[in-house]
Structures are given as C-alpha cells and as structure tokens.
Amino acid sequence: MSRRLQLLLFTLGAAAFGYLVARIGVGRLFADAVRTGWLFVPIFLLYGVVYLCNAWAWWLTMADDPSHPPFWRTYAIIVAGFSLNFMTPMVNVGGEPFKIAAVAPWLGVRRAAGSVVIYQMLHTFGMVLSYLTAIILGAVLLPPHPAILVTLALAFAALTGLVALLVMAHRRGGLERALDLLHRIPLVDRLARRLEPRRAVLVQMDEQITDFYHRRRSRFFQALALEYVSRSIFMFEYVLIALGVGLNITFFQAYVIGGLTSLVQNIVFVVPFEVGTKEGSLYFMFQLLGLDPALGVYTAIVSRLRDLSWIGGGLALVWLSGRRAPERAAAP
C-alpha cells in the first residue's frame, strides 16, 4: 500500500473522528471523563489480566522445552510485543519478530519462531471464537432487521470456514502448503522464490505445530481456552466504562459491542490506527442496542487512553524482556 493511500485513509478516518467529536461536543466528553474518575484504574488493570491469559497461553506452547523462559519473562515479552504491534499500523506484526528474538536465547531461533507461529494461530483461533459468540448474542439482542440478520449470518458462515482452516492448520501444518500456494500466485511468486531455500525450516516448523496439537492436546485446549477467556475478560471494559457514566449495561450487551466492533476493525484494517473506524463502529453499535450513541465515542476515547498507557509500559519492557537469557539457560 502506497504512503499516499495510507495518508488518505488516515485523513478520512481522522475527519470521521473529528465529526463525531464535534457532533457530541468536547464538553460532554470531558464531563463523562470526570464522572468516570477512579474507574480508570480498574479499566487499566483489567487489560493486565488479559495479558496474563495471553502470556499463559503462549507459555504453554513452550512449557515442554526444558530451557523455556520463565513465566514472568514471557509476560514481559508479550506485553512488549503487543505494544510494538500497536506501533505498526494496519498490519500489526511489528511485535512478532521481537518475540522471536526475545525467546531465541532460550529456545533457539527455529523453535522460538515455531512457538510464536503456534501462539499467533491460537490467538487468532480464540479471537474468531469470540466473534462467533458476539454474532450469536447479536442475533438475539440486536433489532431483528433483515439486513442485520443477513449480515450476521454471512459473517457467521465466513468465520466458521476460518475455524475449519485453523483446525486443519493445527492438525496437518500449513506453512509448506502456503509456500506452494505462493508459487502459483503470479504477483507473489517472486517472494516464494526467495523463501524456497527456507523450505526445510518451514517443514520443521510445521512438525512443531502439529506435534503440539497431536501430542500435547490438553495443553492445546488449555491455551485456546485461555485465549477465549482473555477476549471475554476484555468485554468487561465496556461494562466499567458505562458504569463510570452512570449507565448499566449487561455483560452480554458488552460482548456484542466489543466483539462486533473488533470484527469490523479487523475487516477495515487498512485504516491506520483504526482512526474513525473504532469511534464510528462503537457509535452505531451503541445506537443499535438502544443506548446513547455518544457514549460509543467516549468508550473509544477511553480505550485509546488505555492503549496508550499500556503501549508506554510495554515499550519500557522492551529492554527488560529483550535481555539475553542466562548462559546456563540459553539454548544452543
């Protein structure tokens, strides 16, 4: 994607964000922030629990290796990695090379890369399951308009197909198959030729992925459950934000808001930093549920403040989590 198109999308998103803020009023948003007050603390800490589940899930993928990193170092690495992802708009992959490099002193580069790929697949799997949950709840709680029901049905079918692909990737591997597919696509076959010398490494990583699924089945489902639970815990953020301005919403309403908004943001990922798309989707989700849509924009602003706080903390952890392992624990 060209820089000019990135700038255009960012400008359009910023314009949409500015329009919504102007329509609601800065004074109204500031008053809501004052009313939230001390609830900013549990909102911030809640994401620490989400990261705890994420770190635990990733740690389970490495636990069988006798030289795996300690849990709290894994926690620091994953917080730092997600922070770097936030700093790379649209693709959100800046943290993955960092995570590989950070655990390589314990596992070696190949097994570190394999553990990151396994975790990313589990992370995506858990996210898709949370989207399916939000769609089911949305079919019950959203207005029974034909357009809404058809959209939810199409999204459910597409996500169910993605679940089938993820299960197949865990059972049979998919990295070597992906390389074979790249060779058949005209515009990316050059990339495939550059990756071809690494085919043996991809085969070994496929073996690592399938081994975790077939031989460590209990840990696989534990890690997947932790990823799903982490997404469910995250939905409480919307309950706390609403509570801060005197609005009581149920956890199921929060799940619909958080799950469907996140799904929309992933569909329109090309907008840098989700500027405008996050605010707009939350505005309409609150409106569809019969809630004050202005609180949707305020919710987006609070979540951005939480993001910035954790990004700052995560970047501070980059130095700590990136330190080399002790020589006695380092993998050859």
How far does the chain reach from its first CA to its final CA, in angstroms? 39
pLDDT of residue 29: 56
- Greater confidence (310 vs 328) lies with 310
Name the token pair of 304.
């951005």
H helices of the chain, in order, are 3-24, 26-36, 40-62, 71-86, 95-107, 109-141, 146-172, 175-184, 189-195, 199-215, 217-234, 236-244, 251-267, 277-288, 294-321
Calpha distance 132→138 (Å, rounded): 10
pLDDT of residue 332: 33
Q: Please give the angle made by the CA atoms of 9, 11 and 15, to the nearest 5 degrees.
A: 115
The residue among 127, 125, 137, 129 whose CA lies nearest residue 255 is 137
Name the token pair of 154.
């199409």
Q: Is the pLDDT of residue 150 over 60?
A: yes
At 236-276, the pLDDT tens digits run 999 988 887 778 889 999 999 999 998 988 776 555 555 55
Q: Is the pLDDT of residue 179 over 60?
A: yes
The residue among 69, 51, 49, 67 whose CA lies nearest residue 59 is 69
Domain residue limits, the chain: 10-141+218-321
pLDDT of residue 328: 38
The residue among 280, 274, 309, 275 whose CA lies nearest residue 297 is 280
At 98-122, the pLDDT tens digits run 888 888 888 888 888 888 989 989 9
Position 321 confidence tier, pLDDT thresholds 50, 70, 90? low
CB 53 within 8 A of CB 224: no
Calpha distance 332→300 (Å, rounded): 46
At 122-146, the pLDDT tens digits run 999 999 999 999 999 999 999 988 9
